[in-house]
Amino acid sequence: MTRPGRLSVGVVGAGRVGAVLGAALARAGHDVVAASGISEASRTRIEALLPDARHVEPEEVVRSADLILLTVPDDSIHAVAAGLASLGAWRPGQIAVHASGRYGTEALADAAAAGALPLAIHPAMTFSGTSIDLDRLTDATFAVSAPAGVLPIAQALAVEMGGEPIVLEDADRPAYHAALVHGANHVVTAVTQAAAALSRIGVEEPGRLLRPLVHASVDGALADAPGAVATLTGPVVRGDAGTIAAHLASLQDQPETLHAYRAMARATADLALSGGRIGPAAYADIIATLGVDP
C-alpha cells in the first residue's frame, strides 16, 4: 500500500548526486518514475540505483513527475530550468529541487515563474555515485533554502533522505560552499601533494605514513572548531623559521607544492598569531622566511 504524501519523482541529470538522491527518495517511499542522463555512466547509474525509472529526455522527465531533481552541473542549472520553461514543461505546484551548494532558489527562477515551488537542497558530503552513498547520507547535513511558505517541504525532504537540515539564506550559499570546498577538496589537494613529495624521496606507501597523522589532525581540528588553534602543531606554532626555510628549499623543484605550502603556512601563521600561539616577533620572522612566490 502506498503511504500518504508520496510523490512521483523525476531526475534530470542522473550523475553521482542525482542518482543517489533519487534512490534516497525511493528508499523513503517516493516513486522515481523517470530519469535522464547522457553519458554511459549515467545510464549505468539509472539501471543500478533507479531501476523502476524510465530513461527519457529531460522534458518528459519534468512532465512525468511531481518532484523534479534538477541535478545538472551548477553552471547549467539556470539554463536548463529556463529551457524547460520555454518548452512549457513546468507546471504550477510542481516541486523543483536543485542540489547545488553555490546557488539558492534564484537558479530556478524560470521554473518558479511557471508556478513550480523552488527548493535548494545541498547535502554536505562527497558522492561516489553508488549505493554506498545512501548510508553516507544518514546524519549528513543538508543546507536548505526556499521561500518561507515551502521551506518545511525542503526540510522534510532532507530528513526523509536521512539528513539533518540547516536553513541558509540564498545570499549566504556561496560563502557556505566556499567553506566546504576549502575544508574538503583543498584538503585532498594538500594530502595528494604531500604524498607525491614523499613518493619522490622513495617512500613506497605514502598514504600509510600520512593516514594516522592526517586523521588525527583533521579530527582534532573538527573537535576544536571553529577556532582549532589549540590543535595546531608544527614549525609555525613553534616559531621555527629555520625549519620552514629548509622546507622551502626542499620544495624548489615542486613549484605547485611550494606555492601551496607558502600560502597555507602564511594562513597558519595568521591563525597562530590571532590565537596567541606565537607572538609578533616570531610571526614577523616566519612571514619574512616564507617570502613571496617568484
DSSP string, the chain: -PPTT--EEEEES-SHHHHHHHHHHHHTT-EEEEEE--SHHHHHHHHHH-TTSEE--HHHHHHH-SEEEE-S-GGGHHHHHHHHHHTT---TT-EEEE--SS--GGGGHHHHHTT-EEEEEEESS---SSTHHHHHTTT-EEEEE--GGGHHHHHHHHHHTT-EEEE--GGGHHHHHHHHIIIIIHHHHHHHHHHHHHHHTT-S-HHHHHHHHHHHHHHHHHHTTTT--TT--SHHHHT-HHHHHHHHHHTTT-HHHHHHHHHHHHHHHHHHHHTTSS-HHHHHHHHHHH----
Q: In angstroms, rounded to a whole number, what is the distance separating the alpha carbons of residues 198 and 194?
A: 6
Which pLDDT score, from 0 to 100, does residue 226 have? 78
Which pLDDT score, from 0 to 100, does residue 5 have? 66
Residue 1 lies in a domain: no
Which pLDDT score, from 0 to 100, does residue 232 have? 85
Q: Which three cell numbers stand for residue 182?
A: 576549502
**Which of 153, 168, 183 delimits the end of a domain?**
168
Number of domains into which the chain is organized: 2
Judge whether 60 and 87 are in contact, CB under 8 Å: no
How do the pLDDT tens digits run along the chain, 294 residues long?
Answer: 344 469 999 999 999 999 999 999 999 999 999 999 989 999 999 999 999 999 999 999 999 999 999 999 999 999 999 999 999 999 999 999 999 999 999 999 999 999 999 999 999 998 999 999 999 999 899 999 999 999 999 999 999 999 999 999 999 999 999 999 999 999 999 999 999 999 999 999 999 999 999 999 898 888 877 776 888 889 999 999 999 999 999 999 999 999 999 999 999 999 999 999 999 999 999 999 999 876
Residue 160 lies in a domain: yes
Judge whether 189 and 260 are in contact, CB under 8 Å: yes
**Which of 168, 195, 229 delimits the end of a domain?**
168
The whole domain housing 248 covers: 175-290
59 and 139 in a single domain? The answer is: yes
Which pLDDT score, from 0 to 100, does residue 225 have? 75
Which pLDDT score, from 0 to 100, does residue 4 have? 45
pLDDT tens for 113-145 read 999 999 999 999 989 999 999 999 998 999 999
Q: How far is CA 39 from CA 44, 45, 69, 213, in A?
A: 9, 10, 18, 39
23 and 164 in a single domain? The answer is: yes
Which pLDDT score, from 0 to 100, does residue 294 have? 65
Q: Which three cell numbers stand for residue 179?
A: 567553506
Residue 65 lies in a domain: yes
Which pLDDT score, from 0 to 100, does residue 220 have? 87
Residue 233 lies in a domain: yes
207 and 222 in a single domain? The answer is: yes
Question: Angle at the Cα of 229 (from 228 to 231), degrees rounded to 5?
Answer: 70
262 and 195 in a single domain? The answer is: yes
Which pLDDT score, from 0 to 100, does residue 2 have? 42
147 and 236 in a single domain? The answer is: no
Which pLDDT score, from 0 to 100, does residue 282 have? 96
Residue indicated by cell numbers 515563474: 113
Residue 186 lies in a domain: yes
CATH number at 95 reads 3.40.50.720
Task: Quote the pTM value.
Answer: 0.86
**Which of 126, 148, 168 delimits the end of a domain?**
168
